[in-house]
Amino acid sequence: MTMNTNGNIYTIVYSAIIVILVAAILAFASSALKPMQDANIKAETISQMLDAAGIQEKGTAASNEEILDKYAENIEAAFAIDTNGVVTGTLSIARDNIELIDGLKAQNKNIKDKKDAKLPVYKFKNGTTVIPIYGGGLWGPVWGYVAFNSDLKTIAGAYFDHESETPGLGAKIKDDPAFRALFKGKVADFTAKPAFAIVKGAKGDHEVDAITGATMTSKGLSGAIGTWFKAYAPFFNKNVEE
Amino acid sequence: MDAKIKETLLNPIFKGNPITVLVLGICSSLAVTVELKGALVMAVSVIIVTGLSNLILSILRNTIPNRVRIIVQLVVVALLVILVDQILKAFAYPVEKQLSVYIGLIITNCIVMGRIEAFALGNKPFASLLDGLANGAGYGLILVIVAFFRELLGSGTLLGMRIIPESFYEAGYMNNGLVILPPMALILIGCIIWVQRSIQKDLQEK
């Protein structure tokens, strides 16, 4: 049997079958691989927090299991707060059931809309308190983790990441250790607005220098820090006084 | 027959190398050759995609409506590329994060479409599979050679391990920052083409 492979009906039916088939394969692959991908993303998130808290060196390659072990060893408490600084819930820190608040994008929207945000606070045994930040860079989202010393003012370390900032320019927020080192020892002033900023020609303790050639990324990151620090300010101010 | 299989397998590695002779796939070979590890993953990914896309489309070749054949090819290639990306995301996450943009760009890699159009649509599945694998390997070979020199000269490491001893640096040796940048990759590929043309005289224009 020979079919006319150039007829209109044949062409349409053929295309439809191919597309449906391909869609089915992709949907299956996506759902089959999702648990492993999520585990990778979770381990990476934890790894970024450990970097910020100064518990591990950046670039030390570790397996997911090692990262989870390290987190379980070093974490003291993890809980969620709202934008009034009230603790609204605890996050499990058990080795086999580590709870994180991911979906920072949704929380970022909650903060901006002044809705009930669920903000995570991670306290580590080395005295640091780690909070996330999230915002828009030049091409896509930028986010990161900032660790504070036990005085809840002095920055102990920071880790930033991005989705698609320009390599060699905006991407330096992640790739350039010198930029992240700028944050160490700086002080966030949670009574001021903004509490902390990235500016050109930084002066004093509450500012760091922006990255040359990456003005938009620097501004975006600065805005992310400003927004999130403001959301955490009630919590920090409360706990500093005590 | 054996001689033909051998020819199909070996020709793309050297004599008809997709990068140095056909000058296809230059763009990605500039982008992913800063580190050897990335180049190796990219090479394996491209070998899988070229091999399987050639195989699948060769099996389908008599059923594909001629007017939409490029679209059908694209759908199949895109399927394979997304699968490779998803699998890397599950099993080699750090590498995927570093390469994700370029993995996606395998879809537009001229070698893939080039081999489908030129070979798979006119040959039997087995021969097409071999042709795809061999062309991917030819591409990968150049990638690895370029990445070897770029990582060694640019970072002093290979696969992330320090090769150039610390004492060299103390004596005043410095990594070459230019090698990290894409233009140097182009020059390196130029050098490889130069070497190949001086060996293989029939490539030289009169």
Q: What is the mean pLDDT of each run of 10 residues along chain A (242 residues)?
A: 75 92 94 90 86 74 79 86 84 80 82 83 89 88 90 88 78 83 85 81 82 85 89 83 52
Instruction: Residue B64: list chain A partners with CB under 8 A.
Output: 5, 14
Instruction: Residue A18: list chain B partners with CB under 8 A.
Output: 72, 75-76
pLDDT at residue A58, rounded to an integer? 61
Q: Alpha-carbon distance B152 to B34, whole Å?
A: 10
B82 part of contact set with chain A, CB < 8 Å: yes
pLDDT at residue A33, rounded to an integer? 92
pLDDT at residue A24, rounded to an integer? 96
pLDDT at residue B96, rounded to an integer? 80
- 3-class SS string, chain A: CCCCCCCHHHHHHHHHHHHHHHHHHHHHHHHHHHHHHHHHHHHHHHHHHHHHCCCCCCCCCCCHHHHHHHHHHHEEEEEEECCCCCEEEECCCCCCCCCCCCCHHHHHHHHHCCCCCCEEEEEECCCCEEEEEEEECCCCEEEEEEEECCCCCEEEEEEEEECCCCCCCCCHHHHCHHHHHCCCCCECCCCCCCCCEEECCCCCCCEEECCCCCHHHHHHHHHHHHHHHHHHHHHHHHHHHC
pLDDT less than 70: residues of chain B: 1, 206
Q: Is A30 close to B62, i.e. CB distance below 8 A?
A: no
pLDDT at residue A1, rounded to an integer? 47
Q: Is A33 close to B67, i.e. CB distance below 8 A?
A: no
Q: Is B101 close to A164, i.e. CB distance below 8 A?
A: yes
Q: Which residues contact A148 (CB under 8 A, 6 or more apart)?
A: A128, A129, A130, A131, A154, A155, A156, A188, A236
pLDDT at residue A60, rounded to an integer? 59
